[in-house]
Structures are given as structure tokens and as C-alpha cells.
Structure 1
């Protein structure tokens, strides 16, 4: 499905990013694995190779424009071009009510979750336009489409990603580049466990309303998402089969978002 495609996957050191990278490898793609953790992305690159793809690892901080320019240049040098950018790198940000959030923590969340994808798109743009099947897939969140109590910095960043997606889709679309956002629901793993634990702690904090998610919030009783489901959707959007899907936010969320 992705034979010969060259993809740059940020945040590829663990979780969804690692799953996306290895899934692309299993479909025959060339994958550049980017993240701040050198040892972890080396491991991901080995997993991509084991899955059947070609891979390199490039240590990258997506908030550093020089790093972003360098990883894009390395991608083009190694594989001759760039067909797909997957903006997966992100952080959860503070889990606090608004009056307890430090402004620097708010800014840092935007730097990673919004400025990072912007810089990657900025430096990848010319190569995506030159591709016969260019695509950008942003990894968003249901927090970009519904209230996320005690997650204001995160929700703001993911809503911004929706606006970025729709605008880029029209800027790049004349050259056949598709731009979409995937919105995972709660994904099994350590991050969601940490958030749930922190929300529970807030029950004892003055002026804080703890938030919870349960079966009543979803259309399906089995509402926890698996990273592999997210990765398969990303691969579809990057493939020729997804060439007429653009400017969309696609929920993998058991029905938690309805628009």
C-alpha cells in the first residue's frame, strides 16, 4: 500500500509514533524516525526494518527550527524525496484547573504541539508539493473537538491543529497534497494512565472539578483505542486510496466526537 513512499514520523520513539513507523514499514515505506530520544528512535528504526521497511533515525527537537530543517534535509538526502509528513510529536501538558496552570507550562505545550507541526510543515512543504502523492497527517485528539476539563493547554493546542490542518489542505491542495488530522480517543498506555491518576487527585484540590470518562460518554462500550488502529488510519490517509480525503478530522474515538 505504501511501497516506495518516504515518510517522516515525528515522536517516533514510543507509543502511537512508534506504531505508525512500524506500520508504514510493514507496507513497504521508507521511514525517517524522529524524536528527541536517540536510543529509542534507533530501536524504532530497527523495528521498521524488521517489519520490512527501510529506516533511519534522526534525533530531533521539533521546537528547534534548525533541527527540523536538518531532519527534512536528511530525509531527502537519504531517500531522494519526502512524500508523507506525520506530525505525531506532542506532550500532554499540565493536568490542572486553569487557576493553577503556570503560563510557562501553557506556552511550552503550544511550542511542542502547535509550533512543532508548523515548523515541520514549513520545511517539508516544497518536497511534499514535488511528490506524486504528498500527504500530511497530524495526530490530534478528541480534546480538539470537545471540552477537556483540567486540560486547557492541551485542548487549546489540539484545536489549533484543526485550524492548521484545514488551512494547509487548501494551501497545498493544488499540488495534490492532502492534509488531515486523526483524532484518537483514549489510547491504552502509560500517558492515559497518568492523566486518569492526576484527574483523580484533583478531587481533593480546592476549586477543581475532576473530570472522568466512562461508557456513557461513548457510542461503543469498548471505548479504549489501540495504537495500531490509529496507525492503520494514518497509513490509509497517506496511501493512494486516501487521495480524495483532505481537510478532515477523523475520529478514532468510539463515537465520542460527533462533528
Structure 2
């Protein structure tokens, strides 16, 4: 499927690797000027180089999405560099400690909520005032399958992702008449370095087996859905939550 993002500026957070990198590359391939936001300088350099080698336009802005002032500066940077903001992908996220709620580290809880929920809020809080000025603006917030189901020892992550889905719906209602569409995407377990480098072979096999399609998803599959939701082809879709999970939540 082809999309037309020419003349549009996109911010992608968590853009240095995995899902964020795939989305950034695809948005640039379809014509958007892409602002990469991450804490990983080397990763952003690689993604920006890939985009530029293929004729795209990329800017880098080192950003900690858990800090409101950093996200405010990110939006200002995007507008200063390109003249506006049309597309926003709030993708940055972390997994956090794997502990039951009664033993969950307090600092771990706050860190997961700060990145996975507050970071999404900050992106919209500072992005939306610019996006309402633009024509055909859209936001995708990266939730998870765990935005609709539970998962033992991941209480903070599950809570944050459920909240992202709710925040997406509320924001979509608030900005529907202003021409900004807001949707959430819920990936299943995706084959990214973050997942594959932190699990042994047995655990990885067990996670694969949780998906009826019997494999992990790919970052490119998540990007394809995200790009569709950002595109004018999805002009009647807002306030909804779209799964790309190999049947995980159908069970």
C-alpha cells in the first residue's frame, strides 16, 4: 500500500530502533520530513543515515520523553526546522521490572508510568496546539495488547498501556472537530532487539507459542498499520484501538 505524506512533518519518539525506527523509515519513504526523538544518539544516527541514503529527510532531537520540558523542546525543534507539525507517533516505551504488584519497586513503577503514559501525554500536550494549525493532522499512540488484557508481573506496564488507550479515546473526542485524528495501536510481541536480546531461547519460544499465528510480529507490520492510520486513507477513523497481535487477544 502506498501513502502520500509529502509536505508533512512527523515526530516519532523511540525512533532509534525497533518499531519506532521502522515507522520513521516508512514515513520518510512516503515523503514526510521525519524528526527522530530518542536518547540513543548512535541509533538515531543510523536511522537518519538510512533515511537520507534513500532520499528522505530526517532530523534528530535527543529527547527524554519522561520529561515534559524535553518534549516541549522537541515540538519546538520540529516546528523551527520544518515550519509545522502534522503527524505524531508517541512510540517511546520501556518494559520495567518483572515483579508482582505486592513486591513492585516504587522507583520502577514511577519510571514505567513516566515513560509509557506521561510521555504520551506530553507528546500530545505540546504537539496538539501545533497540529490544529495544520491540515490533515493525525496521532498514533503506541499502546500494546496489554492495553486490553493483563499480564502477570507487568502491572506498571499493563496499567500504563490501558491508560494510553483511554487517553487516546478522550483526546480523539476533544479534537475531532479541530481536524486532528487520534488512534492507538496495540502490538503483540514483536521481534525487536529489546525483546530478543533480553530473553533466553526457552522464554522466547514460550512467547511465540502465545500467538495463534505461531510467530512474533515484525516492526514493519506494526509500521504498516501505523502509516495507514496516519494517512488520509484513514480519514474516518479516530478514537479507536487497533491490534496487530497474531491473534493473541482473540483467545
Structure 2 residue 249 is the aligned partner of structure 1 residue 246: no
**Matched ranges for 1:1-259 at <5 A:** 1-193=4-196, 196-197=199-200, 213=206, 217-221=210-214, 223-258=215-250
Task: Give deviations 1:222-241, integer Å, cap 9, x for gaps.
Answer: x3100001111111111111
CA 1:215–1:90 in 2, change beyond 3 Å: closer, same or farther?
closer
CA-atom RMSD in angstroms: 2.1
Contact 2:75–2:127 (CA<8 Å) still a contact in 1? Answer: yes
Cα deviation for residue 213 of structure 1 reads 4.9
Task: Give deviations 1:103-150, integer Å, cap 9, x for gaps.
Answer: 110111000000111011000111111111111101111011111111
Task: Give deviations 1:194-248, integer Å, cap 9, x for gaps.
Answer: 5644996xxxxxxxxxxx9557644423x31000011111111111111111111
Alpha-carbon separation, structure 2, partners of 1:24 and 1:197: 33
Structure 1 residue runs of 4 or more that deviate by more than 6 Å after TM superposition = none
Gap regions ≥5 residues in structure 2: none
Gap regions ≥5 residues in structure 1: 201-211
Moved more, 184-193 or 109-118: 184-193
Alpha-carbon separation, structure 2, partners of 1:237 and 1:21: 14
Show the counterpart of 1:207: none
Cα deviation for residue 40 of structure 1 reads 2.0
Alpha-carbon separation, structure 2, partners of 1:173 and 1:16: 27
CA 1:37–1:218 in 2, change beyond 3 Å: closer, same or farther?
closer
Cα deviation for residue 30 of structure 1 reads 0.4
Give aligned pairs, total.
248
Query: Could you tell me the TM-score, scaled by structure 2's length?
Result: 0.92
Alpha-carbon separation, structure 1, partners of 2:53 and 2:132: 30
Moved more, 43-52 or 125-134: 43-52
Contact 1:85–1:124 (CA<8 Å) still a contact in 2? Answer: yes
